[in-house]
Amino acid sequence: MSTNNNQIILNIRFKIKPGKKDSFRESLFSMISNFKSEPSFVSAIVSDDLVIYEIWRGTKESWIQHELNKPYRAEYEDSLTKLIDDRIVSWLEPVGEWGSRLTLLT
Protein backbone atom coordinates (compact mmCIF):
# COMPACT_ATOMS: atom_id res chain seq x y z
CA MET A 1 0.00 0.00 0.00
CA SER A 2 1.34 3.44 -0.87
CA THR A 3 0.57 6.70 0.87
CA ASN A 4 -0.79 9.77 -0.83
CA ASN A 5 1.19 12.86 0.13
CA ASN A 6 -0.99 14.99 -2.11
CA GLN A 7 -4.04 15.04 0.16
CA ILE A 8 -4.86 16.31 3.61
CA ILE A 9 -7.82 15.44 5.79
CA LEU A 10 -9.37 17.84 8.27
CA ASN A 11 -11.32 16.20 11.06
CA ILE A 12 -13.07 18.92 13.05
CA ARG A 13 -15.11 18.25 16.19
CA PHE A 14 -17.29 21.09 17.46
CA LYS A 15 -18.71 21.72 20.93
CA ILE A 16 -21.95 23.48 20.09
CA LYS A 17 -23.50 25.99 22.48
CA PRO A 18 -26.81 24.85 24.00
CA GLY A 19 -29.73 25.55 21.69
CA LYS A 20 -27.49 26.46 18.73
CA LYS A 21 -27.25 23.11 16.89
CA ASP A 22 -29.67 24.02 14.10
CA SER A 23 -28.11 27.46 13.56
CA PHE A 24 -24.64 25.94 13.53
CA ARG A 25 -25.67 23.26 11.04
CA GLU A 26 -27.15 25.94 8.76
CA SER A 27 -23.92 27.97 8.93
CA LEU A 28 -21.73 24.90 8.34
CA PHE A 29 -23.78 23.68 5.38
CA SER A 30 -23.67 27.17 3.87
CA MET A 31 -19.89 27.20 4.10
CA ILE A 32 -19.68 23.74 2.53
CA SER A 33 -21.83 25.00 -0.34
CA ASN A 34 -19.20 27.68 -0.88
CA PHE A 35 -16.12 25.47 -0.74
CA LYS A 36 -17.47 22.43 -2.58
CA SER A 37 -16.54 24.01 -5.91
CA GLU A 38 -12.95 24.81 -4.92
CA PRO A 39 -10.47 23.06 -7.26
CA SER A 40 -8.63 21.31 -4.43
CA PHE A 41 -11.77 20.05 -2.68
CA VAL A 42 -12.35 16.28 -2.76
CA SER A 43 -15.07 15.39 -0.26
CA ALA A 44 -16.81 16.36 2.98
CA ILE A 45 -18.85 14.29 5.38
CA VAL A 46 -20.78 15.79 8.29
CA SER A 47 -22.01 13.43 10.98
CA ASP A 48 -25.15 13.89 13.06
CA ASP A 49 -23.07 15.09 16.03
CA LEU A 50 -21.65 17.79 13.70
CA VAL A 51 -18.18 16.44 13.23
CA ILE A 52 -16.89 17.29 9.76
CA TYR A 53 -14.42 15.18 7.83
CA GLU A 54 -12.98 17.01 4.80
CA ILE A 55 -10.56 15.71 2.17
CA TRP A 56 -8.51 18.21 0.16
CA ARG A 57 -5.80 17.91 -2.46
CA GLY A 58 -2.52 19.36 -1.23
CA THR A 59 -0.84 19.71 2.14
CA LYS A 60 -1.71 21.38 5.41
CA GLU A 61 0.48 24.31 4.40
CA SER A 62 -1.13 24.68 0.96
CA TRP A 63 -4.61 24.46 2.49
CA ILE A 64 -3.78 27.20 5.01
CA GLN A 65 -2.25 29.36 2.28
CA HIS A 66 -5.02 28.96 -0.32
CA GLU A 67 -8.23 28.05 1.51
CA LEU A 68 -8.16 29.66 4.93
CA ASN A 69 -8.23 33.24 3.63
CA LYS A 70 -11.32 32.85 1.41
CA PRO A 71 -13.94 35.58 2.10
CA TYR A 72 -16.71 33.06 2.88
CA ARG A 73 -14.50 31.51 5.58
CA ALA A 74 -14.11 34.87 7.34
CA GLU A 75 -17.89 35.24 7.47
CA TYR A 76 -18.24 31.69 8.78
CA GLU A 77 -15.53 32.18 11.42
CA ASP A 78 -17.24 35.36 12.63
CA SER A 79 -20.50 33.45 13.09
CA LEU A 80 -18.85 30.72 15.17
CA THR A 81 -18.36 32.87 18.28
CA LYS A 82 -22.14 32.85 18.80
CA LEU A 83 -22.57 29.16 17.95
CA ILE A 84 -19.74 27.10 19.45
CA ASP A 85 -17.85 26.85 22.72
CA ASP A 86 -14.86 25.01 21.26
CA ARG A 87 -13.53 22.98 18.35
CA ILE A 88 -10.76 20.48 17.91
CA VAL A 89 -9.04 20.39 14.51
CA SER A 90 -7.00 17.34 13.54
CA TRP A 91 -4.86 17.39 10.40
CA LEU A 92 -4.54 13.87 9.02
CA GLU A 93 -2.69 12.28 6.10
CA PRO A 94 -4.33 9.24 4.51
CA VAL A 95 -2.36 5.99 4.78
CA GLY A 96 -5.02 3.44 3.87
CA GLU A 97 -8.54 3.28 2.47
CA TRP A 98 -11.11 0.57 2.00
CA GLY A 99 -14.47 0.80 0.25
CA SER A 100 -13.90 3.92 -1.86
CA ARG A 101 -11.25 5.74 -3.86
CA LEU A 102 -11.54 9.19 -2.24
CA THR A 103 -7.92 9.34 -1.16
CA LEU A 104 -6.65 7.63 -4.32
CA LEU A 105 -4.49 5.18 -2.39
CA THR A 106 -3.42 2.02 -4.15
Mean pLDDT for 10-22 is: 96
Reported as a single tens digit per residue, the pLDDT across 24-74 is: 999 999 999 999 999 999 999 999 989 999 999 999 999 999 999 999 999
As a CATH number, domain 7-92 is 3.30.70.100
2 has pLDDT over 50? no
Contacts for 73 with CB less than 8 Å, ≥ 6 apart = 31, 35, 67
* 83 burial type by CB count under 10 A (0-12 exposed, 13-18 middle, 19+ buried): buried
Q: Decide: pTM greater than 0.75.
A: yes
Whether the CA torsion 28, 83, 65, 3 is positive or negative: it is negative
101 has pLDDT over 80? no
Give the start-to-end residue ranges of the domains of the chain.
Answer: 7-92
Identify the pLDDT of residue 88: 97
Identify the pLDDT of residue 1: 38
4 has pLDDT over 90? no
